[in-house]
């Protein structure tokens, strides 16, 4: 039989396991509840003229669909992974079909440029992904599922990951098959990034490669088509970028493994807000509350608009019954994003009723 000490330990473990699952689901719940600003309809209408549907014929004779965006006269940018097993490619726009005369590939960055003659389509205005900030409204235009007309998806910038002289963007402007290569625009209609891959799971993360990589390929095209290389997001697990290594661990609440991985990320990139955020989450999930608070604060020192870090601090304050800290975190979150604050408040109230907070 269990003695009273073992029973208390068992009860604590059960509460922590229950919290770990609730914590992960709660973060997903809040992210899913955030509301995004719709772009100007006339602006979207004009931008759709620069977005094309990409068709490929695969080696097996199948048909694949993607999205491309005109980035310069006679040049369309799209994802290289669309081309990986293609033996033929063309684009369609306004009922016309056109075949490229050449392709320049940066396989590792998943950026391919299709060159045409007499394309006669208006290029999108280019900005830089490095100008983006956390919480900024963005939208993408593409062909998810292969519809006849391009579709618009709105979202916010959720994270920025420094990589190769720019940043990989994570935004919740969702995309699916057929939308690979979808352009991501800021609210002024400037091209800032292009969709590339998404994580698996219920609360998928959507990633976009920076427009800087497109510009670099235009300025320094290979003299011959570059040999095929695996994209940065399709490497063996141990060689994936940290931003990808942490996501499955976070989603399945594997806090010890996440702590180990995030600690190595912090050691390698001590100025990365995301590294500190995932380390804070791992510590939080294991009940190491004092250390978790320190890491949330370290994250916010690097990126003061990190909504998930403010959310984590608010949850932590409720668990520790610290009303002043909870009020401060909630007020800051409300100033940054009122919808995120409302979602947090609603969920915290539900947790109080469920008796899950400590």
Q: Do 283 and 262 contact (CB within 8 A), yes or no?
A: no
With a cut of 50, say whether residue 347 has pLDDT above it: yes
Would the pTM count as exceeding 0.75?
Answer: yes
Residue-wise pLDDT tens digits, 238-255: 999 999 999 999 999 999
Per-residue pLDDT band at 6 (split at 50, 70, 90): very low
Write down the pLDDT at residue 109: 96
For residue 207, which of 277, 274, 291 has the smallest C-alpha distance? 274
Distance CA 277, CA 135 (A): 16
Q: Show Cβ contacts of residue 2 under 8 Å, excluding neighbours closer than 6 positions.
A: 10
Measured from the Cβ of residue 1, the count of other Cβ atoms closer than 10 Å reads 4
pLDDT digits (tens, 9 = 90+) for 266-296: 999 999 999 999 999 999 999 999 999 999 9
- Res. 346 pLDDT band, cuts 50 70 90: confident
pLDDT in tens, 301-324: 999 999 999 999 999 999 899 999
CA 188-193-197 angle, to 5 degrees, is: 140
- Check residues 14 and 66 and name the one with the higher pLDDT: 66
Express each pLDDT in 93-151 by its tens digit: 988 999 999 999 999 999 999 999 999 999 999 999 999 999 999 999 999 988 889 99
pLDDT, greater one: 89 or 7? 89
The two tokens of residue 266 are 């912090």
pLDDT band at 262 (very low <50, low <70, confident <90, very high): very high
pLDDT at 33: 53
pLDDT of 66 > 80? The answer is: yes
Find out whether 305 and 133 touch, Cβ atoms under 8 Å. yes
- Classify 105 as helix, strand or coil: strand
pLDDT of residue 27: 58
Closest CA to 124 of 73, 180, 187, 50: 50
pLDDT at residue number 11: 46
Please give the residue that has the higher pLDDT: either 227 or 79.
Answer: 79
* Residue 4 pLDDT: 44
CA dist 164 and 212 (Å) reads 10
Grouping H, G, I as helix, E, B as strand and the rest as coil, residue 255 is helix
Q: What per-residue confidence (pLDDT) applies to 31?
A: 53
Sign of CA dihedral 150, 179, 196, 39: positive
Whether 34 has a pLDDT exceeding 90, the answer reads: no
Please give, one letter per residue, the 3-state secondary structure of 51-86. EEEEEEEECCCCEEEEEEEEEECCEEEECHHHCCCE
Average pLDDT score, the chain: 88
Domains of the chain: 13-37+234-354 (1.25.40.10), 42-115 (2.40.10.10), 125-229 (2.40.10.10)
Which tokens belong to 295?
């890491």
Query: Is pLDDT above 70 for 334?
Result: yes
**Tens of pLDDT along 167-201?**
999 999 888 888 999 999 999 999 999 999 998 87
pLDDT at 7: 38
Confidence at 325, pLDDT banded by 50, 70, 90? very high
**223 or 310: which leads in pLDDT:** 310
d(CA 320, CA 167): 36
> Alpha-carbon distance 202 to 300, whole Å?
27
| Six-digit token string for 260 | 């180990």
**pLDDT reading at 235 higher than 50:** yes
């Amino acid at each position: 039989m269990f003695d009273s000490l073992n029973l208390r330990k068992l009860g604590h473990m059960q509460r922590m396991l229950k919290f770990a699952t609730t914590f992960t689901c709660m973060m997903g719940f809040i992210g899913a509840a955030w509301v995004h600003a719709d772009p100007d309809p006339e602006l979207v209408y004009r931008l759709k003229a620069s977005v094309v549907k990409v068709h490929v014929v695969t080696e097996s004779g199948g048909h694949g669909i993607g999205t491309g965006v005109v980035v310069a006269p006679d040049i369309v940018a799209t994802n290289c992974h669309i081309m990986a097993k293609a033996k033929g490619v063309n684009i369609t726009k306004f009922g016309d079909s056109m075949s490229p005369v050449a392709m320049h590939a940066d396989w590792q960055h998943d950026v391919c440029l299709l060159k045409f003659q007499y394309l006669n389509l208006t290029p999108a205005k280019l900005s830089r992904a490095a100008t983006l900030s956390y919480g900024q409204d963005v939208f993408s235009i593409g062909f998810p599922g292969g519809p006849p007309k391009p579709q618009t998806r709105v979202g916010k910038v959720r994270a920025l990951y420094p990589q190769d002289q720019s940043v990989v963007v994570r935004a919740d402007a969702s995309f699916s098959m057929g939308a690979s290569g979808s352009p991501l625009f800021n609210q002024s209609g400037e091209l800032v990034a292009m969709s590339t891959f998404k994580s698996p799971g219920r609360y998928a993360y959507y990633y976009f490669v920076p427009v800087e990589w497109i510009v670099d390929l235009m300025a320094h095209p290979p003299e011959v088509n570059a040999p095929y290389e695996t994209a940065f997001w399709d490497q063996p697990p141990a060689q994936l970028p940290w931003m990808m290594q942490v996501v499955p661990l976070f989603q399945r609440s594997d806090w010890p493994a996440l702590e180990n991985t995030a600690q190595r990320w912090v050691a390698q990139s001590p100025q990365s807000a995301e590294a500190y955020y995932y380390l804070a989450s791992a510590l939080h999930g294991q009940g190491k509350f004092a250390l978790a608070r320190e890491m949330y604060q370290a994250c916010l020192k690097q990126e003061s608009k990190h909504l998930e870090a403010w959310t984590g601090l608010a949850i932590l304050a409720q668990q520790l019954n610290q009303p002043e800290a909870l009020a401060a975190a909630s007020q800051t979150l409300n100033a940054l994003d009122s919808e995120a604050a409302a979602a947090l408040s609603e969920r915290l109230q539900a947790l109080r009723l469920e008796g899950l907070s400590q």
